[in-house]
Structure 1
Amino acid sequence: MANSYFQFKQFRVEQDKCAMKVCTDSCLFGAVVEAGNANRILDIGTGTGLLSLMVAQRTTATIDAVEINPEAATQASENFALSPWTNRLHLHPVSLQEFAKENQQNYDVILSNPPFFLASLKSGNAAKDSAKHTGDLFFEDILAFAQKHLTQQGKLYILLPPAEALHFAELATDHRLYLTETIEVYTYINGQCIRHIQTYSFVKSASSTISKLHIREANKTTYTSEFSELLKDYYLHL
């Protein structure tokens, strides 16, 4: 049974109300996102609020977080309130579509770990299905919002499984957003690629960069030095 909370060095994420718990690839995503110069950041589908809290720790940005699930939104709001950055974190308990109708802000960074299993069977757990499947939040909605509200020099960051990442990249070009970088995340050295961390911008380059990042060494137990370096400011035991 998962813990009811995940303790980081500077904040705690309570997660008993959320179907999707804190996981390693989400933590890695939160650490990889480059947001140091951002004035305003949007976290789409914030869940527990993990990604917002991670970027809040290392920036001075104002962060808006959108979450459609009422229980997850309540949990994220509570996690924000207990953090050292509560005055910069703003939870919006609505769908992205509803948020888009009222939003007047532009964002230097938009990030999302969205629902992603396009073709897989649903589990029967409504909360988990909403969090993991493109039922309530579609890729097209994220891209349409970014096309309208991402600053000209801004970046869109997405965490997806490999197949869904390729599909997202195909859709993005229709919204004038171009893939500039892909980090392939592997469970361990010589292991399986489980996620792509993608970076998009309005600037079209001749080619996008691709790199690999391994969570654990080949022994499947020890964190790699690269992973440890990224998470050392967050994980208690690094």
Structure 2
Amino acid sequence: MANTYFQFKQFRINQHQCAMKVCTDSCVFGAYVEVKQAKRVLDIGTGTGLLALMAAQRSGAVVEAVEINPEAQVQAAQNFTESPWADRLKLYPMPLQEFAKTSTQQYDVILSNPPFFLASLKSDDAAKNTAKHTGDLLFEDILKFAQKHLTEHGKLYLLLPPTEASHFAALAKAHALYLTETLEVYTRTGGKCIRHVQTYTFASAEKAVTNRLDIREEDGKTYTTDFTALLRDYYLIF
């Protein structure tokens, strides 16, 4: 069966029960976020557990994860248990809204690759709709949670398409969270920008820093030096 798992250098992502499989932009996101100094990390909408596992690999942090989908909960739990960092990974099988009612923990890093298509048409696949649309996990819920549970100097990271990223940035200001850095992710040199990796803090910046990452060279086949360097600790091919 195709796509039953994705093998990284230090862990495996079993994904046959999940609607959303491992994808390149999620790997970029997981490798980009700063977690080395973090003591506690939260992954909102963990899916297969990919981002939580990437954070655990390059930090000594306790990494917690929230997931609403029953099939993804089973898959993430398996991936956590089979990883080298099982003792530092904890899954909460519930919606963020429910988790927020009882959580008293503070996090140095909160990250999320949330449901994001605000205006696009939904598919006939209910699981994919839950994973890709904001109907079940609203941006406001992420912001309310971060405002309350992010440490003073903590960072909130989001992976979103450009349009939704602009929308989130506007909403964030009302919660005293400010966009300080954006990594624009392009399919290839001269290609299309497909995602923004956004960094938010409680300290506003005079002007947010914008950087660019091209996944492939202009030929559309060869990985760029920057992409290779970013994913070197994870991808078997590098």
Query: Structure 2 length normalisation: TM-score?
Result: 0.99
Shift of 1:135: 1.1
Shift of 1:205: 1.3
| Structure 1 counterpart of 2:154, one-letter code | G
**1:134 match: secondary structure:** coil
**1:101 match: secondary structure:** helix
| Structure 2 counterpart of 1:117, one-letter code | F
**2:141 match: secondary structure:** helix
**1:123 match: secondary structure:** coil
Q: 1:120 is matched with which residue?
A: 120
5+ long unaligned stretches in structure 2: none
Q: 2:171 is matched with which residue?
A: 171
Rounded Cα–Cα distance in structure 2 between residues aligned with 1:68 and 1:30: 20
Q: 1:147 is matched with which residue?
A: 147
Choose 2-11 or 41-50, whichever is displaced more. Answer: 2-11
| Structure 2 counterpart of 1:51, one-letter code | L
Whether 2:70 is the aligned partner of 1:70: answer: yes
Shift of 1:170: 0.3
Shift of 1:3: 1.1
Shift of 1:184: 0.4
Shift of 1:211: 1.0
Rounded Cα–Cα distance in structure 2 between residues aligned with 1:70 and 1:216: 35
Rounded Cα–Cα distance in structure 1 between residues aligned with 2:152 and 2:71: 34
Rounded Cα–Cα distance in structure 2 between residues aligned with 1:159 and 1:135: 17
Where do 1:76-155 residues align within 5 Å?
Answer: 76-155=76-155
| Structure 2 counterpart of 1:170, one-letter code | A
Whether 2:220 is the aligned partner of 1:220: answer: yes
| Structure 2 counterpart of 1:154, one-letter code | G
Provide the aligned length of Structure 1 versus Structure 2: 238
| Structure 2 counterpart of 1:159, one-letter code | L
Query: Structure 1 length normalisation: TM-score?
Result: 0.99
| Structure 2 counterpart of 1:52, one-letter code | A
Rounded Cα–Cα distance in structure 2 between residues aligned with 1:20 and 1:155: 25
Q: 1:60 is matched with which residue?
A: 60
Shift of 1:164: 0.2
Moved over 4 A (4+): none
Sequence identity (%): 67
**1:43 match: secondary structure:** strand
Rounded Cα–Cα distance in structure 1 between residues aligned with 2:104 and 2:139: 21
Shift of 1:2: 4.5
